[in-house]
Chain A
Amino acid sequence: MSFFSTTNRRTTPLLLAGCILLPGLLSMSTPTSFAEDGGNLYNTAVDIRMGERYFERQCSRCHGFDAKGNDEVGAPDLTGRLRNASTDVGIFNVIRGGVPGTAMLPVAEDVPDPTVWQVVAYLDSLRYDPSSVVLDGDAGRGASLFTGKGECASCHMVDGRGGRLGPDLSRIGEDHTPEDLLLAMTNPNEEVAPRWWTLRVTGTDGVQRQGYRMGEDSFTLRIMDDEENLWHFRKNQIESYERIEESTMPSYEGELSDGELDDLVAYMFSLRREVLPQ
């Protein structure tokens, strides 16, 4: 068996599971004849529904029926933060004018502005203003639980401190609702990003190594074992490998009280990097 390992841990990229925002909305130059910031007047429930219908028809082929994007065509996930179109006006202008030099074409000229605003309203409805969310828990107590009783920090890193055996949670509040966060703690196997699956690799000498699935492609595997060693394998130079598509995180259901879980949710939901409007 031939493989390589490294102990240079500082080179290890830790990825935030499920946080992939492609830059399709980043480079729009905004013609002044487009929308200027007067707010979206088309944001009633009916407008959102109309915007959804338009989106499903005109936009979903690239961006997905659930607006979560499509890596194959480079269409970005629109359900999370749109980094350089953080305002309704910015989103309107991207839809109205397209992104030059890409497959993001402008909507037809005869599509009225209100329709575009309805799409903006629909996209807004897929997100929310986190500052408007009121939670029962206390973020300060949650922070203490995170590093203390909950032992979360033994696996998870926040702002550069903590463990490496789980996703970095420094910005977890940006792309997860409080409901998502609670579910992740009480039922970690509900949705496990492939990055956090486990690979069990058996070498031609019969030796097994297993670890987090840091990378798998058609010809190679890369894992980090429990001792945080990085291993690289060529598939044609091992005996076999097995995927375990489950989370290694324990469930906190019953391990913490409801109040403690609320506190942890409040803490993790507070982990956001605020983006200033452009």
Chain B
Amino acid sequence: MKRIISSVFISSIVLSSAQLFAQEDQFSTVITPAFSPITWERLVDARNEPENWLMYSGTLDSQRYSLLDQINVDNVDQLEMKWAYQIPVIDRAETVPLVVDGIMFITEAPSNVVAVDARTGREYWRYDHDMPDDLRICCGRNNRGVAILGETLFMSTLDAHLVAIDARTGNLLWDTEVARHDAGYSKTAAPLIVKDKVVTGIAGAEFGIRGFIDAYDPETGERIWRTYTIPGPGEFGNDTWSDDSWRTGGSSTWITGSYDADLNQIYWGTGNPGPDWNGDVRLGDNLYSDSVLSLNGDTGAIEWYFQFTPHDVHDYDSIQVPILADLEISGEQVPAMMWANRNGFYYTLNRATGEFLFGKPFATVTWAEGLDPVTGAPIRVPGMAPTYEGIMVSPPIVGATNWYSPGYSQDTELFYVTSFDGEQEFFKRDEDYEEGERFTGGGGRYTQPMDAYHSSIRAINPKTAEIEWEFPIMPRSPAGITTTAGGLVFTGSADGYFFALDAESGRELWNVSLGARVHAAPMTFSVDGEQYVTIASGNVVYTFGLRD
């Protein structure tokens, strides 16, 4: 770890901002945004300052539900583009920007940040992370966003570092190596602030890593605790891995989790066991892969776990964002967690205890015939494990859904997810672990053109697990979802549309063709009383607002 001391000359920033705006007629009266430090209390209460988008999922419960309603079902067709920011790196953008008091923070591939004015998209500063040339990354040079506490941004980097950046200048404050990138570790997800700690996960399950969730001191970058997602010898669950397979069993944590301040529990999904498609070398349930973990908000100790897919051999990561809400189910108020899993099943859990309440398929599933009504464990269909010759299974490797965020509306009490009905031939291969080399044990192959499959936005009633409506889109869409008090569901599609649906009925209300795949989730904010909605498409970040 290295610490770089930076000097922050706020007054000079204010001056330069004033000079900048003075040249722009539209904002000539604006001197500078009132950027105030983000306290933990503000993060806990983030929903009640909907003008800002203060964390990856908007709020700690990750509902992605905004109270803003200026843009609503009656006027959403009046949206027009206000500005576009061209990311100067040709790669897909998976970023969900933050907005703090009129300043937007956008992450770029491979691991850069730019701060822009949220009304104009014009740049204040940028941070370019020094990147080694021997990265070991699974699936693209992705970065999904930053976290903020005080006046500091925190970002995961592809070379498996966690960096702290001054939010006013882009100066690097500290840079901590979380794990060795040359051993296959990398980081792509936005961290989560929990009280006075920066909680963050790790990627690399295709390289035989041993996954973990870490917490860091936001002031110094020093690690406070680490909770491995694969138990070590002598710990509960280590015997669910045959021989020494726990050492290289993956179980990564590459998407941002959620937090319940009342229960003081952090919830975080875990990835596939490794090698992905050859389970012969890791017999057992392979805890805590493909699970959701509840961690104590202070110590990181595991309080409960729920494993969605024991002994997974299809790469069905449980890398989804946990959505938390209190639901009235069968006359009782339940602290619920909603989860549409890559394995094709939707689950409602009790987030206080981890108890399985109920679940059903929300997409085409052939590997399991259902869920045990008591435990929630999958009832497997025999003979669906990958073979040397290949076997057709649904969902395919990319899953019935994946990392892209689902959403929940407090008005409709519906859960929204981008789903995929596809299939793939799964193959098994024999491989030995070598540090820094891929360790996947097989792969998959589509046998039809992608257009022969189906994607859709599905609205699920979390009190019954029934699908209430669906809106078909072209496969395979990897976009997240945001809901608003304006009665809207915003999302995107693989064929480059950004669109809004009626959250109640799924009725199409508005769309715009942006021309490039949408690999990100929308977010919404307001400045000077004007609501905006932002989405990344291709390597451009677009912001829309109502027609003047």
Which residues of A line the B interface, CB within 8 A? 53, 56-58, 60-62, 64-66, 71-74, 101-103, 105-106, 108-109, 193-194, 216-219, 236, 245
**What is the CA–CA distance of A245 and B437 in the complex, to the nearest angstrom?**
41
Q: Tell whether A57 pairs with B431 under 8 Å between CB atoms, given A102-B90, A216-B451.
A: yes
Binary CB contact string for chain B from 417 to 440 against chain A (1 if under 8 A, 0 otherwise)? 000000000010101000011101
**Which residues of A lie under 8 Å from residue B134 when comparing CB positions?**
106, 108-109
* Contact in complex: B478, A72 (CB < 8 Å): yes
Q: Is there an interface contact between A57 and B133, defined as CB atoms closer than 8 Å?
A: no
Can you list 23 A-B pairs, Cβ within 8 angstroms, ordered by A?
A56-B443, A58-B437, A58-B438, A61-B139, A61-B206, A65-B427, A65-B444, A66-B445, A72-B476, A72-B517, A73-B92, A73-B139, A73-B140, A101-B89, A102-B90, A103-B141, A216-B474, A217-B495, A217-B497, A217-B513, A218-B473, A218-B493, A219-B511
> B438 touches which one: A61, A74, A216, A236 (CB < 8 A)?
A61
A5 and B18 CA atoms in complex are apart in Å by: 51
Distance in angstroms from B442 CB to nearest chain A CB is 8
Which applies to chain B's interface (DSSP): helix, strand, loop or mixed? loop
Give 7 nearest A-B pairs by CB, closest first: A65-B443, A218-B473, A217-B495, A194-B451, A65-B445, A60-B443, A218-B493
Q: Please indicate the chain B residues that have their CB under 8 angstroms from the CB of A58 in the complex.
A: 437-438
- Shortest CB distance B491–A (Å): 10
Chain A residues within 8 Å of B444, by CB:
65
Instruction: Bin chain B's interface residue count.
Output: 35 or more
Q: Is B383 an interface residue, CB under 8 A from the partner?
A: no
Query: Shortest distance in angstroms between A180's beta carbon and chain B's nearest beta carbon?
Result: 16
Contact B445 A218 (CB under 8 A): no
The yes or no answer to B281 lying at the interface (CB within 8 A) is no
Could you tell me if B137 and A105 are in contact, using CB atoms closer than 8 angstroms?
Answer: yes
Question: Is B40 an interface position by the 8 A CB rule?
Answer: no
Instruction: List the B side residues contacting A62 at CB < 8 Å.
Output: 139-140
Report how far A74 CA is from B516 CA in the complex, Å. Answer: 12
Give complex CA distance A71, B494 in Å: 10
A106–B437 touching, CB < 8 Å:
no
Cβ contact within 8 Å between B450 and A71: yes
Residues of chain A contacted by B513 (CB below 8 angstroms)? 217, 219
* Distance in Å: Cβ of A13 to nearest Cβ of chain B: 16
Q: How far is the CA of A60 from the CA of B427 in the complex (A)?
A: 12
Complex Cα spacing A73 to B402, Å: 15
Chain A residues near B437 (CB-CB < 8 A) = 57-58, 108
Contacts of A53 in B (CB 8 A): 429
Binding site for A on B (CB under 8 A): 89-92, 133-141, 206, 427, 429, 431, 436-438, 440, 442-445, 449-452, 472-474, 476-478, 493-497, 499, 508, 511, 513, 517
CA A57 to CA B513, docked complex, whole Å:
37
Most chain B Cβ neighbours within 10 Å, of A53, A103, A245 = A103
Whether the pair A194, B452 counts as a contact (CB closer than 8 A) is yes
Is the pair A193, B449 in contact by a Cβ cutoff of 8 Å?
A: yes
**Which residue on A lies nearest to B443, using beta carbons?**
A65
Given A60-B443, A72-B478: A218 and B497 interface contact (C-beta under 8 Å):
yes
Could you say which of A57, A72, A218, A236 contacts B429, with CB atoms under 8 Å apart?
Answer: A57
- A64 to B139 CA separation, bound complex (whole angstroms): 12
- B91 surroundings in chain A (CB, below 8 A): 102-103
Q: Known contacts A218-B474, A218-B497; can you find 4 more A-B pairs with CB under 8 A?
A: A57-B431, A101-B90, A219-B499, A245-B452
Cα–Cα distance between A62 and B427 once the two chains are bound (Å):
15
A219: chain B residues within 8 A (beta carbon)? 497, 499, 508, 511, 513
Contact A108 to B436, CB < 8 A, known contacts A218-B473, A245-B452: yes
CA distance A106 to B135 in the complex (A): 9
In the assembled complex, which residues on chain B have CB atoms less than 8 Å from the CB atom of A105? 135, 137
What residue of chain A has the Cβ atom nearest to residue B138's Cβ?
A61
CA of A105 to CA of B110, assembled, Å? 12
Residue of B nearest to A74 (CB): B92
Q: What's the least CB distance linking B178 to chain A, in Å?
A: 20
Contacts of B474 in A (CB 8 A): 216-218
Q: How far is the CB of A136 from chain B (nearest CB, A)?
A: 31
Chain B, Cβ-Cβ closest to A59: B438
Q: How far is the CB of B519 from chain A (nearest CB, A)?
A: 8
How far, in angstroms, from A194 to B452 measured CA to CA in the complex? 8
Contacts of B438 in A (CB 8 A): 57-58, 61
A71-B446 Cα distance, complex, nearest whole Å: 13
- Alpha-carbon distance A56/B429, docked complex (angstroms): 9
Which residues on the A side are within 8 Å of B497 (C-beta)? 217-219
In the complex, what distance in Å separates the CA atom of A273 from the CA atom of B26? 55
Residues of A within 8 A of B450 (CB): 71
- B452 touching A61, Cβ below 8 Å: no
Least CB separation from B90: chain A residue:
A101
Chain B residues in 8 Å Cβ range of A74:
92
In the complex the two chains form, what is the Cα distance from A72 to B451 in whole Å? 13
Question: Are A106 and B431 in touch, CB under 8 angstroms?
Answer: no
Q: In the bound complex, do residue A106 and residue B133 qualify as a contact, i.e. CB atoms below 8 Å apart?
A: yes
* A74–B478 alpha-carbon span in the complex (Å): 14
Please report the C-alpha to C-alpha distance between residue A241 and residue B489 in the assembled complex, in whole angstroms: 25
Most B CB within 10 A of own CB, among A65, A74, A105, A108: A65
| Interchain CB contact under 8 A, A103 and B440 | no
CB contacts (< 8 Å) of B493 on chain A: these are 217-218
Complex contacts, A61 vs chain B, CB 8 Å = 138-139, 206, 438, 440, 443
Distance of B430 from chain A, by nearest CB (Å):
9
Report the bound CA distance from A58 to B206 in whole Å.
10
Query: How many angstroms from the CA of A278 to the CA of B485 in the assembled complex?
Result: 59
- Give the complex CA separation of A218 and B134 in angstroms: 39
Q: Are B140 and A236 in contact (CB under 8 A)?
A: no
